[in-house]
């Protein structure tokens, strides 16, 4: 049953300057929301429990979207599991406990497709959660996000608040992290091919074998899906958000090279990890709610590359 949100009620977007949060902010503004609340990490450290409670008591939002997280690519997750586990657990617990105290009626917790088992049946249904072992390179981050899902479900069960959780696939778009050491695969490729073109490098080396398959969703489509879910979804189970199609890392690299205009050779560094062999989400439940993505991968990569050139280089 659809429940239209009050466009003038206070809406807090946690992490509003990040990749996801900034897209949510743009979408909320475009949809006519007039009372948006945001705080940078310098203004509010969600890892600090006292700060977080003070902030929520002051603002008492009607809707909270939790897009705040410590995130990174495969090497960052592999090399810093302690921080990925500890920081994300504290962010989630502090925020949701504070929201519970002020009885925030509507909350959307954003997780990640890495919550699912490494060898889950493809495409991955929401019911695959907790049915197998996790991918070791990002298991700490995954456990933190699974804990967030459990907290949403616990609050619903014990207090009856209409909180929900959504699991996006791999995301990209404006305000992404393009740092070569900590970025995800798509922004890393955009930067690598741009620099290779600029330096006339004869070859670009891809991490891993290039055979893993990944699904990619433009962050503006995710933001649109989040607002749709807040008005059309109310169940304890997490719901997948994706496009329902995937490509190999090699195919992705070739697409980025084409968009950037790089014409050199591609090779593979097999000493780098591949991660999960395939990670394609079953998005049938989301599609049944009347939502579908609007941006193709090629158009999305082209738009993201334009943003990168204009804002990062």
Question: Dihedrals φ, ψ of 157, to 5°?
Answer: -70, -40
Q: Return the number of other C-beta atoms located less than 10 Å from residue 100's C-beta.
A: 18
| Cis, bond preceding 252 (omega within 30 deg of 0) | no
Give SS3 for 66: strand
Buried residues in 206-229 as b, exposed as e (16+ CB within 10 A): bbbbbebbbbbbbbbbbbbbbbbb
d(CA 263, CA 286): 39
Q: Give CA–CA dist 86/98, Å, rounded.
A: 18
Catalytic residue among 141, 172, 262, 305: 141
Active-site annotation holds for 159? no
Catalytic residues: 141
């Amino acid at each position: 049953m659809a429940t239209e949100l009050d466009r003038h009620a206070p809406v807090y977007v946690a992490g509003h300057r990040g990749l996801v949060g900034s897209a949510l902010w743009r979408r909320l503004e475009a949809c006519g929301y007039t009372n948006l609340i945001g705080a940078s990490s310098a203004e509010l450290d969600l890892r600090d429990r006292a700060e977080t409670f003070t902030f929520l008591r002051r603002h008492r939002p009607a809707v909270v979207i939790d897009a705040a997280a410590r995130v990174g690519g495969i090497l960052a997750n592999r090399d810093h599991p302690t921080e990925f586990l500890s920081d994300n657990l504290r962010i989630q617990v502090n925020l949701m406990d504070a929201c519970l105290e002020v009885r925030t009626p509507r909350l959307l917790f954003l997780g990640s497709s890495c919550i699912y088992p490494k060898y889950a049946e493809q495409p991955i249904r929401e019911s695959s959660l907790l049915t197998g072992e996790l991918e070791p390179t990002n298991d700490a981050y995954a456990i933190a996000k699974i804990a967030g899902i459990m907290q949403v479900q616990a609050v619903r069960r014990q207090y009856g608040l209409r909180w929900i959780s959504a699991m996006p696939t791999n995301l990209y778009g404006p305000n992404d992290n393009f740092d070569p050491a900590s970025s995800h695969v798509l922004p890393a490729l955009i930067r690598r091919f741009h620099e290779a073109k600029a330096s006339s490098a004869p070859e670009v080396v891809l991490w891993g074998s290039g055979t893993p398959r990944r699904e990619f969703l433009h962050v503006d489509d995710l933001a649109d899906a989040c607002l749709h879910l807040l008005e059309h979804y109310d169940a304890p189970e997490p719901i997948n958000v994706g496009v329902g199609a995937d490509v190999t890392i090699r195919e992705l690299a070739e697409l980025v090279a084409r968009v950037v205009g790089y014409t050199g050779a591609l090779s593979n560094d097999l000493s780098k990890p591949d991660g999960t062999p395939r990670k394609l989400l079953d998005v049938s439940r989301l599609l049944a709610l009347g939502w579908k993505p609007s941006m193709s991968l090629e158009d999305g990569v082209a738009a993201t590359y334009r943003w990168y050139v204009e804002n990062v280089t």
